[in-house]
A = this chain, B = another copy of it.
Amino acid sequence: MAEYYSVPLVSAAEQFAKLPGIGMKTAQRLAYFMLNQPMEDVELFTSEILKARKSVHCCKICQNFTDTDQCSICGDEKRDKTTICVVEAPKDVSALERAGGFNGVYHVLHGLLSPMDNIGPDDIRIPELIKRLSGNVNEVIMATNPTVEGETTAAYISRMIKPLGVKVTRLAYGLPAGSALEFADDVTLQRALENRNEL
């Protein structure tokens, strides 16, 4: 950037530009915004982010983010520990909890299998999942995204788990609620037909 910018301002903007979905223009706007905030607010902003990064780690059981030894779901006595729902990322746990209706526990993989990106079974939390199955587990629900990587990961884990005598299920495919047939893609329509239910 040209010399009429002050160097620390450019450095701050470059840091903002590293955030996902934030380009150089927005990053500059955010840097200018920060300069106009009271010093206490900027200190709070940076300290809360640092604190989150320092105190939040993975739950030793389900690998979801937590700042305690065990996350609140794994530590909840009312949750059914015999049903494990496997998801790609912590935000998927949030989505399912928000939706409600699931009373089991989770397992966060922190990624999906992707040979193209050199991500194999040991790069995501599959070993930790297998270890949990030695306990009293009845069902593993594969809740990875309905994408190529999500399907591959679900299929791979399912093949590993079945010999252990644990039931493996997959989230249902079909029409999203509130959608219209005419806008559904071909694969979704085919799956919705295949998996039709009796009324």
Contacts and interface: CB of A to CB of B under 8 A. Distances in A.
Interface stretch (A11-19, A131-139, A146-154, A173-181): A11-19
A67 interface: yes
Contacts of A49: 12, 15-16, 31, 34, 42, 45-46
Nearest to A58: B35
A8 B98 contact: no
A190 interface: no
Given A51-B8, A97-B2, A32 B91 contact: yes
How many copies of this chain are found per oligomer?
2
Q: How large is the interface on A (under 10, 10 to 19, 20 to 34, 35 or more residues)?
A: 35 or more
Nearest to A68: B6
A12 B52 contact: yes
Given A28-B91, A73-B4, A42 B50 contact: yes
8 contacts: A4-B93, A8-B48, A8-B51, A9-B52, A9-B65, A11-B51, A29-B91, A46-B49
Given A8-B48, A12-B53, A35-B52, 6 more contacts: A8-B56, A11-B48, A20-B33, A21-B26, A32-B89, A42-B50
